């Protein structure tokens, strides 16, 4: 088996047994990255730095260091600041930005021994559902390069699915780990809000943004999440919980289960609102097939209801733009970001400073970012705050309460990740609302701050991947990972890969 076909856990074993070296694997993957630049997954590749880190990892292995992630290559979504690589957030506003420090997630994965190959493409400031909002180039879906890989972590998803790297970091504000994972046939998990530090993650919507891993399997995600998570005093939203070994927790839950029934006793809730008539038939059939497999493994399916599911779209698209309007105000050409070179207009009634602000932001931000800033500024303005933003926050609490009512009847909630398989590049470019509606099944868990994940559940029309979404109660990532791992032990959907890669 070629090194690029190995998962994180398989690579870890190969490195431990010395059947492969980190330098060999890293050099092999760098060659594949170069050969598949047309995929648009990368914004920066650090060849020299990656090989240097790999050499150090091999030296540590030779001295008896057998940490599971030591020498394993990965890459970071370009929303995490990095001291050794440029950080753009997919925007021209930060085209020349270099951070003086690493994000906590980057720092912790480096401390675990991973080798960083560089930075991955994303929608500008993580705003988008297809990775078409990147200021540099859209990323493409390796299953069909005329289609989107999903967003905003589309570069991460495309690179993992194409076997350019075994794993990557992503962020999920309204579904940006789960949806691209679904569209590209990989596994991704958004943990409970606060489990992974937001320090050094360029903010879009501060009460929603959360980091998480994207990889081939639940087992891989558990290894990565163990390294990424934990309390960080530098992040005011970080959950004060001790570090967790999610891989060990996942394995522990298998102990004592009846033979062939690793999910015996698990109650899986199926919200009736997650299976509407608008759900594409190919997605519906694939999800139902995955649910049938879960039943074979001992799980019991329970009908539940999340009555405010449809309201999650207007609620999210009031709260998230409002927070984006506030967060992105710092990019004004003075403190951070692009500064226009020619902004003075002698005929303008505006001061030179105001002219500089306007021209710099107009040149630096893309159309979707401008749209969300305008929406957010409007809903926060005098006379509209109570009517829109405050009402949205009240509904957000009701959506969270709906989930708690469901968890009185079940342990895990399951359903589709997106209403359809990946759409064509440019297919929704003229209709931003159509992009927003594609997030209907991922937004509720994000608004509630709950953990959620996507795992492969077969294929839909045209052989394109379909994902199964699992949602757990607060800090129940171990249950989600255990459920996903049991399904992946019994099926091979997560091992399917696109042709040509």
Which residues participate in catalysis according to the annotation?
77, 152, 176
311 with 447: CB under 8 angstroms? no
Distance between CA atoms of residues 217 and 231, nearest Å: 25
Tokens representing 61?
Answer: 């292995």
Q: Across-strand partners of 141? A: 144
Distance between CA atoms of residues 471 and 480, nearest Å: 7
Q: What is the 3-state secondary structure (H, E, C) of 156-168?
A: HHHHHHCCCCCEE
User: To 10 degrees, the CA torsion angle through 70, 75, 79, 85?
Assistant: 90
Strands 412-416, 465-472: pairing kind: antiparallel
Distance between CA atoms of residues 489 and 292, nearest Å: 15
Q: Which of 391, 452, 404, 482 is nearest to 172 (CA)?
A: 452
Distance between CA atoms of residues 413 and 120, nearest Å: 31
End-to-end CA distance of the chain: 14
Q: What is the 3-state secondary structure (H, E, C) of 363-396?
A: HHCCHHHHHHHHHHHHHHCCCCHHHHHHHHHHHH
What's 410's DSSP letter?
A: -
Distance between CA atoms of residues 391 and 318, nearest Å: 10
The gap from C-alpha 460 to its chain's centroid, in whole angstroms, comes to: 22
Cis-peptide into 179, omega within 30 deg: no
Tokens representing 184?
Answer: 């590209």
Distance between CA atoms of residues 107 and 228, nearest Å: 9
């Amino acid at each position: 088996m070629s090194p690029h076909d190995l998962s994180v856990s398989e690579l870890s074993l190969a490195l431990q047994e010395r059947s492969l070296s980190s330098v060999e694997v890293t050099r092999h993957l760098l060659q594949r990255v170069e050969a598949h630049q047309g995929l648009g997954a990368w914004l920066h590749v650090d060849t020299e730095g990656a090989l240097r880190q790999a050499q150090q990892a091999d030296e540590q292995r030779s001295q008896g260091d057998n940490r599971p992630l030591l020498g394993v290559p990965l890459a970071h979504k370009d929303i995490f600041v990095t001291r050794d690589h440029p950080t753009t957030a997919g925007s021209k506003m930060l085209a020349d930005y270099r951070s003086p420090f690493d994000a906590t997630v980057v720092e912790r994965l480096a401390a675990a021994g991973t080798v960083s190959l560089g930075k991955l493409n994303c929608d500008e400031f993580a705003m988008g559902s297809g990775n078409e909002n990147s200021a540099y180039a859209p990323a493409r879906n390796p299953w069909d390069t005329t289609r989107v890989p999903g967003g905003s972590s589309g570069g991460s998803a495309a690179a993992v699915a194409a076997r350019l790297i075994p794993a990557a970091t992503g962020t999920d504000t309204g579904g940006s780990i789960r949806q691209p994972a679904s569209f590209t046939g990989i596994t991704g998990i958004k943990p409970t809000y606060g489990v992974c530090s937001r320090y050094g993650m360029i903010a879009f919507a501060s009460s929603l943004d959360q980091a998480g891993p994207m990889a081939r399997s639940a087992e891989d995600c558990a290894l990565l999440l163990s390294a990424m998570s934990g309390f960080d005093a530098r992040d005011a939203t970080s959950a004060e919980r001790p570090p967790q070994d999610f891989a060990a927790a996942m394995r522990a839950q298998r102990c004592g289960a009846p033979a062939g029934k690793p999910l015996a006793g698990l109650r899986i809730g199926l919200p009736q609102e997650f299976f509407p008539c608008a759900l594409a038939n190919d997605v519906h059939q694939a999800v139902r097939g995955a649910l049938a497999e879960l039943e074979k493994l001992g799980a019991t399916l329970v009908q539940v209801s999340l009555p405010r599911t449809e309201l999650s779209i207007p609620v999210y698209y009031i709260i998230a733009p409002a927070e984006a309007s506030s967060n992105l105000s710092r990019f004004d050409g003075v403190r951070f970001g692009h500064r226009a070179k020619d902004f003075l207009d002698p005929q303008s009634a505006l001061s030179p400073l105001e002219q500089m602000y306007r021209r710099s932001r107009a040149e630096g931000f893309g159309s979707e970012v401008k749209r969300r800033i305008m929406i957010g500024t409007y809903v926060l303005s005098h006379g509209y705050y109570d009517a829109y933003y405050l009402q949205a926050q009240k509904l957000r609490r009701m959506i969270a309460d709906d989930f708690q009512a469901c968890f009185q009847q079940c342990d895990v909630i399951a359903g589709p990740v997106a209403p359809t398989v990946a759409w064509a590049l440019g297919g929704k470019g003229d209709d931003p609302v159509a992009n927003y509606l594609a997030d209907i099944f991922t937004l509720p868990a994000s608004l509630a701050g709950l953990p959620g994940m996507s795992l492969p559940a077969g294929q839909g029309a045209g052989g394109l991947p379909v994902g199964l979404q699992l949602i757990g109660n607060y800090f129940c990532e171990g249950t989600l990972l255990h459920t996903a791992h049991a399904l992946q032990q019994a099926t091979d959907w997560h091992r399917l890969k696109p042709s040509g890669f």
